[in-house]
Amino acid sequence: MNRRDFLLSVGLGYLALPYAVLAEEPGLNQRAQSRGLSFGYAINSFQLVDKIFAEAVIRDAGIIVAENEMKWRETQKKDGPPNYATADRIVNFARQHQMGVRGHTIIWHRKPPAWAEAALSGPDGKKLLLDYTHNIVSHFRGQIKEWDVVNEAVDLGSRTPNGLRNWGPYLENGYDFIADCFRAAHEADPDAMLFYNDFGIEYKRQSAKRDAVLKLLTRLKNQDVPIHCLGIQSHLIAGTDFDERLFRNFLKEVADMGIKIRLTELEVDDKNLDADIALRDAGVADTARQYLNVAFDEPAVIGLLTWGVSDRTMRNVALWQTRADRLAPRRLPLDENFQKKPLWHAIAECFDNARSR
Ligand code: G3I
């Protein structure tokens, strides 16, 4: 019998762990779970072949979400049977490591595949979307514990009476279409937690959008629609007008409807911060700390995911290049070498200080 098996046989298996693991402080999800919360990362299946990436996800995440691989344009590029192969890889990784999976996202104005765009504004548009909803939720039934059923349906710039986005299915059917999407998802998997997910509702100047989101949620709840959770994307900007009292009150208004809340896509834009890395990292961490301390104080908040793992994944991606000096963004918990940044420690600290659920 080797040393490891002997130690395991006498209940001292932990001594068999490699030193690096023994020395590792608890990961973020362990910290979260001690308060009845959860933590996770947005990932892509191709990133999992990178050992250091996978190890960071295994250390920190209790739930993962596909950054892109479960979006309609990725799963059904052509008019034909959907291809869930890459999405299945994420689900299989999660199962292998006892993690949950978030499904992101079913109905989103930005992601119908080109072949479906034309059909959507036709007489069969609504049926096409509801069939897609039923098919993808059915495919992952029992494997995905929560779905962003509808993403970013509120858009004040569309200047519609109810604040819904100027997108065919929302215009013809308004709230009723959104209600039908949730009903279709619930019918496909009655055990899945169903989310409305949106951005631009975190800051003081965004009160009008918060009100439009509350109006949508109220309408759905009053119609007994199976909506269980609000996803607040939490794409924060360091140095912006965050009003703790306003945000706290918003969270409570959502909670008072019997709707849970998850922070679904946290990352912190450092465009307003100094070029110096230490100052930028500190500013990003302080921004997240102030936000998370308010959020985690609301009992209806169930957890947090960040929209990526390491700054390496945002390098050279135009979407995240917001700094005037063109320096690489430092928005995520781990740096480009997967080392913990002040943001990682700020998230850990906010979990440690959170009220227990
Ligand atoms: O897969 C194609 C590839 O085949 C092609 O060669 C390449 C060049 O055109 O594009 C690739 O698709 C890109 C995809 O990311 C995968 O990398 C799309 O063009 C690009 O638009 C897409 O961007 C994603 C964006 O959502 C739109 O889907 C971002 O990575 C992703 O971080 C972002 O995430 C969104 C959430 O889903 C919703 N909340 C906001 C958040 C940030 O915008």
CA nearest ligand 1 atom 3, residue: 74
Among 108, 150, 319, say which to mutate for ligand 1: greatest number of ligand atoms within 8 Å of CB. 319
Helix 175-188 crosses helix 207-222 at what angle (to 10 degrees)? 60
Q: What is the pLDDT along the chain (357 residues), one digit of tens a residue?
A: 665 566 555 555 444 444 344 457 899 999 999 999 999 999 999 999 999 999 999 999 999 999 999 999 999 999 999 999 999 999 999 999 999 999 999 999 997 999 998 888 778 888 999 999 999 999 999 999 999 999 999 999 999 988 999 988 887 767 899 999 999 999 999 999 999 999 999 999 999 999 999 999 999 999 999 999 999 999 999 999 899 999 999 999 999 999 999 999 999 999 999 999 999 999 999 999 999 999 999 999 999 999 999 999 999 899 999 999 999 999 999 999 999 999 999 999 999 999 999
**Residue nearest atom 28 of ligand 1, based on CA coordinates:** 68
CA triple 137-219-103, angle to 5 deg: 20
- Rounded to the nearest 10°, the torsion over CA 168, 157, 133, 306 is 160
Give the span between the Cα atoms of 280 and 286, in whole angstroms. Answer: 10
Which ligand 1 atom minimizes the distance to the CA of 104? Answer: 37
CA 33 to ligand 1 centroid distance, Å: 31
Q: How far is CA 346 from the centre of its chain?
A: 18
Alpha helices in the chain (DSSP H): 3-9, 19-23, 28-33, 51-60, 72-75, 85-96, 114-120, 125-139, 168-173, 175-188, 207-222, 244-255, 277-295, 342-353
Tokens 């819904």 correspond to 164
**Is the Cα torsion angle 156, 159, 163, 165 positive or negative in sign?**
negative
Question: With a 6 A CB cut-off, is 318 part of the ligand 1 pocket?
Answer: no
